[in-house]
Structure 1
Amino acid sequence: MIFKSSYPDLKIPQDGVYQYVTSNPNKIPDDKVIYVDGITGKGYTFGEFKHESKKFAAGLQDVLGFKRGDVLAIFSPNQVDYPITVLGTIAAGGKVTTANPKYKAAELFYQLNDSGATVLIVHPEILEVAIEASINAKIPASRVLLFGDKEIKGYKPYRSILIGDREIEPINYTPEEVKSTTAYILYTSGTTGNPKGVEHTHASIVFNQTQLINTECKLGPHSTVMGVTQFCHGYAFTLILHAALIHGATAIIHTNFSVETFCESIQKFKVNHIYAVPPVIHKLVNDPLAQQFNFSSMDTIASAGAPLVYQLEKKFYEMFKIPILQLYGLTETLATMHHPDPTKIIGPGSIGILFPNVKAKILSEDGHELGYNKLGELWIHGPNVMKGYLNNKEATGAVIDKDGFFKTGDIGFQVAPSELESVLLTHDAVSDAAVIGYYSEEESTEIPVAYVIIKEGYEQSQALAKEIQSFVNEKVAQHKKLRGGVLFIDRIPKSEAGKILKGLLREKLKMGLRKND
């Protein structure tokens, strides 16, 4: 059966991203502060943001010859100038791809090369990685520019090169172009294969913002929001970077997370809305320092990125008396669902409410549609679903069916099991491998664990397991590391079509964990 949203359908806006987020429905004045650095206090008002982003767009065109459809990459942790570069590129008619600041050079090169990026904006602290990757991607040093105000090794700040007096009138799109034109290429591992570029059009981004306005919370000019997730991911990218503008809220931006700076900012800026992930909730519950600060300004904490265990949600509410709004979404679908009522903790197994215009269905492993209270794979349909995977019709066809439903697959921290499996298979001792995610109480999120079959001539041992784990960990970013370890198995269960039956492996892992308790 097909499940439909209980919200009434919304009219789909016809605007491009820049025009929509600066449309100012709440009539805020130009001197309203929108973005603030949580440490330095540096910020941009609504008026300053518009001027700076349009100057950035002019600089891209005038200095770098940036044309409509060109791609700009951003390789940086959260930074107060990040929104300027994102929406300035959009104003110039370009596309933006955001790279994880934890990436190593090979991973960044893959994204630069795959996306076709011709300009790279970099945070100074990770310049060395960017230099190596950009050279391999054949991006000239003159088109690699820095956040901040210091020149480093001949690489110049973007402000000194691109920001002049001229402002452009942002590129306009027809309603048809809004639907078809890619605005962002956000990389995700998806459910199979190597990292893929998720193409989101102006329409999917704009509509998702409209959905959030009508469902997620009552943000507005009175709101001060703060997040602890990276702008390179769809979660913070849409719910903080873009939503602050359309709501006229003030966003407090931090480059890094610590309990102390997080709590200090809540108290200092009177933050009333937080975007977090389960490990942050876990730290706030378990760090006594958090209880020394005044959280009285807080209304709601939104949690996404991984399931938040019921016991942790309950404990957090008991300690701080702040409700947690759980959100569900993927890079491919953006936010699609929310907790029925953030003021009530409704217990394990609860399902959220679909956003307006969103439909869903649950399918069994053999492809049959299921009804209520049945366990299966969630498929999502709506105007917020991606256009497809960049330059990869085969992968797109594998996850979007003929009716436009997206097959969500297994949910993890943006880690494709097949990507890690491909690395495992390059180890001399491994003949076959399967990677699954399991929920870690300690980390309050899913972490990857590998099952491997070893070749003849090798013996199963703790030392070999550690060696294989280290072999993989040295080749991938932090969040992809096999934090759950490596386990040996004699046979990996597979369907007749060759699909790994990961549900059986999860059950096997649960049984093993119970025996060790």
Structure 2
Amino acid sequence: MSDRIWLSSYPEGVPADIDVTRYASMVDMMEESFKKFASLSAYSFMGKELTYAQVDELSQTFGVYLQSLGLSKGDRVAVMMPNVLQYPIAVAGILRAGYTLVNVNPLYTARELEHQLKDSGTKAIVILENFAATLEKCLAATPVKHVVLCAMGDQLGFLKGMLVNYVVRNIKKMVPDFNLPTAVRFNAALANGSSGTLKKIAVKPDDVAVLQYTGGTTGVSKGAVLLHRNLVANLLQSDAWFQPALGKVPPGEQLNEVCALPLYHIFAFTVGMMLSMRLGGKLILIPNPRDFVAVLKELAKHKIHLFPAVNTLFNGLANHPDFHKVNWSSLVASAGGGTAVQSAVAKLWLDKTGCPICEGYGLSETSPIATSNPVMVTEYSGSIGVPIPSTWLKLLDDDGNEVAPGAAGEIAIKGPQVMAGYWQRPDETAKVMTPDGYFKSGDIGVVDERGYFKIVDRKKDMVLVSGFNVFPTELEDVVSQMPGILECACVGVPDTKSGEAVKLVIVKKNPELTEEQVRAYCRENLTGYKQPKLVEFRTELPKTPVGKILRRELRNK
């Protein structure tokens, strides 16, 4: 779609393209923010705030410590933590010292962690002590030579830090026994680095900034190679796209952004930590987004302007009895991503906050944002919006040709935010990159005459019932609007007559809801082949830590 028909749908003031050469690296961009916003709060965590100047100093100090270990430029350093203050300090220190960040899911098993550390060739890891027992099980099989151990209270001050650590270790029993005798404590690493000076490393646009692992739920986990220029581009694109909403923050008032999604996930990493830093915002770090009581209690202490989240988080919070305790009147943008936002959830969120969910779309391979609805949307559209500045999309058939207008095809993305490839996997890279530089997403979409794209489903999640394509997201969107349903998910299961049949799994909101009521609703709203053959009720749906539903687990049971 070389004519970029979507540009006519851009909000006023949003440019068609951004200058990707404005910064040579993420380091340049971060250091600009450290100086520009030095006196402002950068992060808030459990009542403790760090200013940009403090993060600047602490990250330099941590970078000095890492350089003292004898690592070479480009060496991989992993971070395996939830949303705690040490995360942004470590990330900035790693990048400023000239190394490559490897984001690691802290809930990984030893097997999954071993794979990622070996595959990436990680030399050092910064890990919360809560997960040290997992590392201990696989450390000997990995190339990791240096371990930095963090505790929840490390950056909370002496007395509060001691109290928090005591509660986490002894009351809540959240730190299993471990034995890592050569590990260095985070605060000790800072003390070690405080006497030195950070060696200035020339970080260039094509240097690798982050290895973002993806595909763990669909196959072998692969590292998406995100260069400094990829992340710089996506931040400049995001900055430009969000400006119409951010302009509604009163002059002189600091932007407050919620970070309830885990920072190891690319959505929270870019749209949370890095975009907030770019804008001079204060990022409210939420360590456990599943504890809705604690999340809402924390949010009640702040004015909130920007809230990126996934469908399950919007839904869970909006349905919680404490939701009204938070003042949502300052909210100027609710950014939905990670997975499809359902219309019933979007309606509920708008009714309760007055701020519509602006749904976007992207992947680890695109840093992540590729498309978005305009941030000043007034109602749910069911689409993923239009390509953001400097981004091109087209729809491809199975032979790699662009489909006819109106037809569904695989979404392919081109832009400065698209990864350089998969880490040391040229075969896997070749499968997803077209000769003309487009990344094949694996998602099936359609586009309308205004350039708005809509996902009809993931290629591999499509259910084939007697030759008819059934897209789970369509069923889920319809069924989730039925009164009495909190959540639902749809998968295909083998069937001797039709090849595959539709299985619908439901979490009730109303305990009185019956299977027959669900089937009657489906008969009224869905054509025959789309109706579920199996209806199952559960107390919860299996999800990744980010909130994506694990369809594989629903198929297996």
For 1:199, the equivalent position in structure 2 comes to 225
Task: Show CA shifts across 1:492-511 (max 9, x none).
Answer: xxxxxxxxxxxxxxxxxxxx
Q: Residue 412 of structure 2: SS of its match in structure 1? A: strand
Task: Show CA shifts across 1:154-213 (max 9, x none).
Answer: 44322202443223154223xxx31x2111000000897411000000000011111011
Bigger mean CA deviation after superposition, 116-125 or 16-25: 16-25
What TM-score do the two structures reach when normalised by structure 1? 0.77
Whose RCO is larger (CA < 8 A, sep 6+)?
1
For 2:526, the equivalent position in structure 1 comes to none
Q: Identify if the C-alpha distance between structure 1 residues 239 and 167 changes in structure 2 by more than 3 Å, giving closer, same or farther.
A: farther
Q: Residue 324 of structure 2: SS of its match in structure 1? A: helix
Q: Which residue, 12, 17, 24 being the options, matches 2:26?
A: 17
CA deviation after TM superposition for structure 1 residue 397, in Å? 0.8
Q: Residue 97 of structure 1: SS of its match in structure 2? A: strand
Q: Identify if the C-alpha distance between structure 1 residues 446 and 227 changes in structure 2 by more than 3 Å, giving closer, same or farther.
A: farther
For 1:160, the equivalent position in structure 2 comes to 188
CA deviation after TM superposition for structure 1 residue 77, in Å? 1.3
**1:226 and 2:234 matched:** no
Q: How does 1:92-131 map to 2 (within 5 A)?
A: 92-131=97-136
Are the counterparts in 1 of residues 78 and 122 from structure 2 also a CA contact under 8 Å? yes
Q: Which residue, 116, 136, 144 being the options, matches 2:141?
A: 136
- AA aligned opposite 2:285: I
For 1:146, the equivalent position in structure 2 comes to 150
What TM-score do the two structures reach when normalised by structure 2? 0.72
Q: Residue 268 of structure 1: SS of its match in structure 2? A: coil
- Count of matched residue pairs: 440
For 1:485, the equivalent position in structure 2 comes to 555
Are the counterparts in 2 of residues 198 and 388 from structure 1 also a CA contact under 8 Å? yes
Q: Identify if the C-alpha distance between structure 1 residues 92 and 47 changes in structure 2 by more than 3 Å, giving closer, same or farther.
A: same
Bigger mean CA deviation after superposition, 358-367 or 212-221: 212-221
Bigger mean CA deviation after superposition, 40-49 or 383-392: 40-49
Q: Identify if the C-alpha distance between structure 1 residues 395 and 387 changes in structure 2 by more than 3 Å, giving closer, same or farther.
A: same
CA deviation after TM superposition for structure 1 residue 254, in Å? 1.3
Q: Identify if the C-alpha distance between structure 1 residues 305 and 86 changes in structure 2 by more than 3 Å, giving closer, same or farther.
A: same
Q: Residue 260 of structure 1: SS of its match in structure 2? A: helix
Q: Identify if the C-alpha distance between structure 1 residues 452 and 203 changes in structure 2 by more than 3 Å, giving closer, same or farther.
A: farther
For 1:27, the equivalent position in structure 2 comes to 36
* Structure 1 unaligned spans of 5+: 420-435, 454-464, 466-472, 488-517
Q: Residue 187 of structure 2: SS of its match in structure 1? A: helix
- AA aligned opposite 1:158: F
* Structure 2 unaligned spans of 5+: 8-14, 155-164, 166-174, 445-457, 462-470, 497-533, 535-541
For 1:42, the equivalent position in structure 2 comes to 48
Q: Residue 72 of structure 1: SS of its match in structure 2? A: strand
* Structure 1: distance between partners of 2:96 and 2:254: 27
CA deviation after TM superposition for structure 1 residue 241, in Å? 1.2
Are the counterparts in 2 of residues 281 and 316 from structure 1 also a CA contact under 8 Å? yes
Q: Identify if the C-alpha distance between structure 1 residues 437 and 167 changes in structure 2 by more than 3 Å, giving closer, same or farther.
A: farther
For 1:239, the equivalent position in structure 2 comes to 271
For 2:212, the equivalent position in structure 1 comes to 186
Are the counterparts in 1 of residues 86 and 150 from structure 2 also a CA contact under 8 Å? no
CA deviation after TM superposition for structure 1 residue 277, in Å? 0.5
Are the counterparts in 1 of residues 241 and 374 from structure 2 also a CA contact under 8 Å? no
Q: Residue 44 of structure 1: SS of its match in structure 2? A: strand
CA deviation after TM superposition for structure 1 residue 371, in Å? 4.8
Q: Identify if the C-alpha distance between structure 1 residues 360 and 3 changes in structure 2 by more than 3 Å, giving closer, same or farther.
A: farther
Q: Which residue, 42, 59, 66 being the options, matches 2:65?
A: 59
* Structure 1: distance between partners of 2:384 and 2:258: 26
Which aligned segments of 4 or more residues in structure 1 are displaced greater than 6 angstroms?
Answer: 416-419, 445-448, 476-479
Q: Which residue, 201, 226, 229 being the options, matches 1:171?
A: 201
Task: Show CA shifts across 1:435-479 (max 9, x none).
Answer: x965654675867666499xxxxxxxxxxx9xxxxxxx9xx9996
Task: Show CA shifts across 1:290-322 (max 9, x none).
Answer: 134322222221111011112321222123212
Are the counterparts in 1 of residues 67 and 97 from structure 2 also a CA contact under 8 Å? yes
- AA aligned opposite 2:312: P
Task: Show CA shifts across 1:363-408 (max 9, x none).
Answer: 1334331354432211000000001000000110110111100000
Please, what is the CA RMSD of the aligned residues?
A: 3.2
Q: Residue 264 of structure 2: SS of its match in structure 1? A: coil
